[in-house]
Structure 1
Amino acid sequence: MSNQMPAQIPFLITRPAGKADNLLASLDTSGIAYLYQPLITTAQVSITAQDHQLLQQADAVVFVSISAVSCLQNQFDGARLTAPLFAVGETTALALKRWLGRDVSVPEDQRSEGMLQLPQLQQMTGKQVVAVRGNGGRELTKQTLTARGATVRYVQSYKRVPLLLDGILLCQQWQLAGIRCIVATSNEILQQLFNIVPSEHQYWLQQCDWILVSPRMQESAIALGINAERITLADNANDSALLAAISQLQREYQ
């Protein structure tokens, strides 16, 4: 994280702690000034005996995030996980490979929509699929694979926990720093920003530029009063796509 306070710090990065390290390192290398403020953190959830059985009997196991991997790794014998592995993103896939030493299927479009386009997930009649994830989250994967004939069960290995933050103070700090663009990588983070900042200060949020990662997030942002012209969609939620989007705006700001 950049500790110096230049005259203008155009970018606010809000990725959760533990998921932002590579992006922040790339921004430092590129000389792009930013502030980093995570809004949520993760806490491990103990899996049950039934979860152990589901994982061992699965025909396919889907991991939605690196937290899903790390929090399962702490409490499950990887040798018992023999089904084909799928990851929504490359960072999650790399964590799985380090843990299990096995191939992991990961889409180029690193969203649930992209993963569901993988050829291995098309013919699913009679298949038992386990999705390892946190609390809540999208139902798209379950709905789609169920429609293709699979039985989909969830294993919750972690939960997302909002950080207790002073939204008024943070908003003042961001304005003083000269923040022009906010980078948010999930609907939960987007909504949390508007939750912690009181309504009388939300106009400032609406006037910022935004880098988001999906059309679904764009729809949510517009519903929160953000003009579509202020929204840039990164090609993916991965670090390289976020860096490309940030770098493009940085050039426009100069």
Structure 2
Amino acid sequence: MSIVTPFLITRPAGKADNLLASLDEQGIAYSYQPLITTQQVALKARDISLLQQAELIIFVSVSAVNALQQQLSPEQLTGHLLAVGSTTSALLQRWSGREVIVPQDQRSEGLLALPQLQQVAGKQVVVVRGNSGRELIKQQLLARGASVKYVQSYNRLPLPLDGGQLWQLWQQQLVRCIVVTSNEILQQLFALMPAAGQAWLLQRHWLLVSPRMQEQALALGIRAEQISLADNANDQALLQQIIRLKKDMV
């Protein structure tokens, strides 16, 4: 007999540990299934040169920091350090031993609203990220007159999973709410599922982390009343929203 796990957590491996530990402490039953993994990309000489010359260095994720710190010493980075989210900021601060600028609104839009990014004409900016992703930060900073380059420190790769088997398992576990922290994971979930599994997904409740993700979910056919938004993608915001949803399920 399967254990009932109302919440399905889909954060990538290595990014979910703190959230899962908090759920254990709260006695909240969950199933954990990452859908993508990350793989470090070797830095080229050009990448190292860009990082050393940059006046502003922006990290978009924990994986961007993790992959970089395996290959560089923090002393090689002399520019101001910025992070999109608080978890990324905390990791970057521990590694570098320096102040990291982080917005209260932990999205690209919040980062772009920071005072430090308003007068950037002529400045050298490097964005450390994975393969693909939003172009908003680069587009906006270019429009403000900055020189913006990407350094790719990791790849995101889909895990080889059997969607039909997962769907059967999640049905047995009576999964009611799916926690998703990126559009990529949301799309991967639907791509994995057979047609009947996709119909099942449309009947679940969803905990997402941004209005942009909500738009993507609506485009996939998920109804607005089945979507809850956490304040952002950090562990504490997700935990608070899961606790609220659990109360509603009783």
Tell me if the contact between 2:207 and 2:228 (Cα under 8 Å) persists in the aligned partners.
Answer: yes
2:88 and 2:131 mapped to 1: Cα distance?
Answer: 17
Partners of 2:44 and 2:50 lie apart in 1 by 10
Q: TM-score, normalised by structure 2?
A: 0.98
TM normalised by structure 1 equals 0.96
Structure 1 vs Structure 2 CA RMSD:
1.1
Paired residue for 2:58? 62
Q: Secondary structure of 2:90's partner?
A: helix
- Provide the residue aligned with 2:247 in structure 1: 251
Q: Deviations over 1:136-192 (max 9, x none)?
A: 000011111111111110000000010000100001100110100000000000000
CA distance in 2: counterparts of 1:5 and 1:85, whole angstroms: 47
Matched, 1:115 2:111: yes
Give the 5 Å matches for 1:34-53.
Answer: 34-53=30-49
Q: For residue 135 of structure 1, give the secondary structure of its aligned residue in structure 2.
A: coil
- For residue 5 of structure 1, report the CA deviation from its aligned partner: 4.8
Q: 1:156 is matched with which residue?
A: 152
Q: Is the 8 A contact 1:111 1:237 kept in 2?
A: no
Give me the whole-angstrom Cα distance separating, in 2, the residues matched to 1:175 and 1:15: 20
Pairwise CA distance, 1:193: 0.2
Q: Distance in 1 between matches of 2:59 and 2:88?
A: 7
> In 1, distance between residues paired with 2:235 and 2:33?
17
Q: 2:131 aligns with which of 132, 135, 139?
A: 135
| Structure 2 residue 147 is matched with structure 1 residue 188 | no
Runs (5+) with no aligned partner, structure 2:
none
Query: Secondary structure at 1:16's aligned position in 2?
Result: coil
Which residue is 2:77 aligned to? 81
- Aligned residue pairs, count: 250
- Structure 1 CA distance for aligned equivalents of residues 13 and 107 of structure 2: 20
Shift in Å at residue 14 of structure 1? 0.2
The whole-number CA distance in structure 2 between the counterparts of 1:22 and 1:49 is 35
Which runs of no fewer than 5 residues in structure 1 stay unpaired? none
Inter-partner Cα distance in structure 2 for 1:5 and 1:127: 57
Moved more, 109-118 or 29-38: 109-118
CA contact (8 A) 1:40 1:163 kept: yes
Deviation at 1:199, TM superposition (A): 2.0
2:200 matched to which residue of 1? 204
Q: Partners of 1:161 and 1:15 in 2: how far apart?
A: 13
Kindly state the Cα deviation for residue 77 of structure 1 after the two structures are TM-superposed. Answer: 2.5
Runs of 4+ residues over 4 Å off in structure 1: none
